[in-house]
Amino acid sequence: MAVGQARFPDMPVIDGLRLGTAMAGIKKAQRSDLVVIEAAPEARVVGAFTRNAFCAAPVVVAREHLAASTARGAAARYLVINTGNANAGTGAPGLRDARLTCAEVARLTGVDERAVLPFSTGVIGEALPMDRLLAGFPDALASLDDTSEAWHRAAEGILTTDTRAKGASVTLSLGEASVSINGISKGSGMIRPDMATMLAFVATDAAIEPSLLDGLLHETLEHSFNCITVDGDTSTNDACMLIATGRGARVVGEDQIERFRNGLQRVMIELAQAIIRDGEGATKFVTLHVSSAASRREGLDVAFTVAHSPLVKTALYASDANWGRILAAVGRAPVSDFDVSRVSIDLGEVRLVEAGGRALTYTEEAGSAVMAREEISIHIDLGRGEEAATVWTSDLSHDYVSINADYRS
């Protein structure tokens, strides 16, 4: 299942960036499961990683190599991603395998092994099939290309339970020049914020200061990938990487930075929403908007409490305007001195709750009409302050249970 149609966008060339794929047979035969992203030597790479304490071996090594590259002023040159096996919960042998992977790519390409960042996604707790994985690299490197097709193939090569490739792109004019931002993401279950909750690779040809680039990544992450949830589970392997090759226009001055930030934010939100639209078993795409919160944290707490409620999620699945469940979920959110008589809740354009109870104007017909839609927005006004937060989520369907009762992830 997935919500709506999705067409993989045309991706412009990002000068200084190429992508290659191969079929290494890591878990299944005859499918793309190995991706290499090559960045030009002058590129800047920044990243954000899962906060799961049991983070996977590739996350440990990627963090380490990224820090080492930054420390010596050298760029990370190759990002290598395999699907089918997460190399998580694999202890010391897993770390050795992640390092071996980097060493092999370094040997084949003549770069320092610390210039290679590994990423894995798939089954937790099984050893990487190193022979097959390493044997795949020559093909992946041979296919390196900067075309839209190369982006599409890479987007397909990182999928697990996803049903479709996810991509987004914007092109911005900066002064007389223009820069592009392309991104791909994967993720379908085990999706939750704090932090990255999936894999995403975003690249731009813009030339931009590394510290500014890093700041923009974390800032836009906070309003995109950190605002989505399918099932509240944070994966062990999540990462979001942003590469600026520097071959294009320079981003300078407040105005240009602001435009770049907005463009990046658009790409990040589109990629994040694509994950929810393709959430495991998803039949609905739900926007939870909380306004008049005392703080953004409070707004997020209320939104996530509703988004994680199995009762709300099953009601959404059933297209049942069961506003009582939304009210009950809001009521148990971690908000201190919560005066519910100031809360109003709207389902789409229909007022559900006000003054502590069902709105007098509410009718079952009006509520049901909204719930029947594939895209639903729920607006919760807390009447406490000036802050707001938006979270995107999916419903809880029979297919979610089937997918997760059958698939060994």
Establish if 379 lies at the interface with a copy of itself (CB under 8 A): no
Establish if 51 lies at the interface with a copy of itself (CB under 8 A): yes
Report the residue number, 90 or 256, with the smaller CB distance to a copy of itself.
90
**323, 346, 370, 379: which one binds a copy of itself (CB under 8 A):** 323
**59, 88, 155, 303: which one binds a copy of itself (CB under 8 A):** 88
Q: Put residue 350 in one of left, alpha, beta given phi > 0 → left and psi -120 to 50 → alpha.
A: beta
**10, 255, 258, 320: which one binds a copy of itself (CB under 8 A):** 320
User: What's the distance, CA 9 to chain centroid?
Assistant: 17
**205, 231, 298, 346: which one binds a copy of itself (CB under 8 A):** 231
CB 312 within 8 A of CB 329: yes
**86, 128, 202, 251: which one binds a copy of itself (CB under 8 A):** 86
Establish if 160 lies at the interface with a copy of itself (CB under 8 A): no
Establish if 330 lies at the interface with a copy of itself (CB under 8 A): yes
Establish if 286 lies at the interface with a copy of itself (CB under 8 A): no
Establish if 357 lies at the interface with a copy of itself (CB under 8 A): yes
Compute φ and ψ for 107, nearest 5 degrees: -65, -45
Nearest to 385 by CA among 272, 264, 298, 280: 298
User: Mapping DSSP to helix (H, G, I), strand (E, B) and coil, where does residue 392 land?
Assistant: strand
Residues 97-156 that bind a copy of itself (CB under 8 A): 123-125
**Which residues have CB under 8 Å from 89's CB, separation 6+?**
54, 56, 124, 125, 236
**Tokens standing for residue 168:** 């987004």
CB 119 within 8 A of CB 199: yes
Tell the smallest beta-carbon distance from residue 375 to a copy of itself (Å).
19
Report the residue number, 21 or 188, with the smaller CB distance to a copy of itself.
188
Establish if 363 lies at the interface with a copy of itself (CB under 8 A): no
**29, 53, 131, 254: which one binds a copy of itself (CB under 8 A):** 53
Establish if 406 lies at the interface with a copy of itself (CB under 8 A): yes
Stretch that binds a copy of itself, among 9-17, 36-44, 66-74, 351-359 (CB under 8 A): 351-359
Cα 259 to Cα 165, 179, 256, 280: the distances in Å are: 27, 11, 5, 34
Establish if 365 lies at the interface with a copy of itself (CB under 8 A): no
Report the residue number, 234 or 273, with the smaller CB distance to a copy of itself.
234
CB 202 within 8 A of CB 169: no
**How many residues sit close enough to a copy of itself to count as binding (CB under 8 A)?**
64
Nearest to 314 by CA among 250, 401, 248: 401
> d(Cα 80, Cα 87) in Å, to the nearest integer?
13
Establish if 13 lies at the interface with a copy of itself (CB under 8 A): no
Annotated catalytic, 197? yes
Q: Are strands 228-229 and 387-394 parallel, antiparallel or unpaired?
A: parallel
**311, 366, 369, 388: which one binds a copy of itself (CB under 8 A):** 311
Establish if 402 lies at the interface with a copy of itself (CB under 8 A): yes
**274, 335, 378, 389: which one binds a copy of itself (CB under 8 A):** 335
Establish if 328 lies at the interface with a copy of itself (CB under 8 A): yes
Tokens 């987004």 label which residue?
168
> d(Cα 307, Cα 320) in Å, to the nearest integer?
16
CB 114 within 8 A of CB 94: no
Q: Are strands 34-39 and 78-85 parallel, antiparallel or unpaired?
A: antiparallel
Establish if 90 lies at the interface with a copy of itself (CB under 8 A): yes
**64, 145, 194, 222: which one binds a copy of itself (CB under 8 A):** 194
Catalytic residue among 21, 161, 197, 220: 197
Tell the smallest beta-carbon distance from residue 395 to a copy of itself (Å).
9
User: Mapping DSSP to helix (H, G, I), strand (E, B) and coil, where does residue 295 land?
Assistant: coil
Quote the Cα angle for 261-242-92, to 5°: 145
Nearest to 107 by CA among 129, 69, 81, 80: 80
Establish if 325 lies at the interface with a copy of itself (CB under 8 A): yes
User: What's the distance, CA 170 to chain centroid?
Assistant: 17
Q: Which residues bind a copy of itself (CB under 8 A)?
A: 51-55, 86, 88-92, 94, 123-125, 189-190, 192, 194, 231-236, 308-311, 314-315, 317-318, 320, 322-325, 327-333, 335, 338, 340, 353, 355-358, 396-398, 400-402, 404-406, 408-409
- Residues marked active site are found at 197
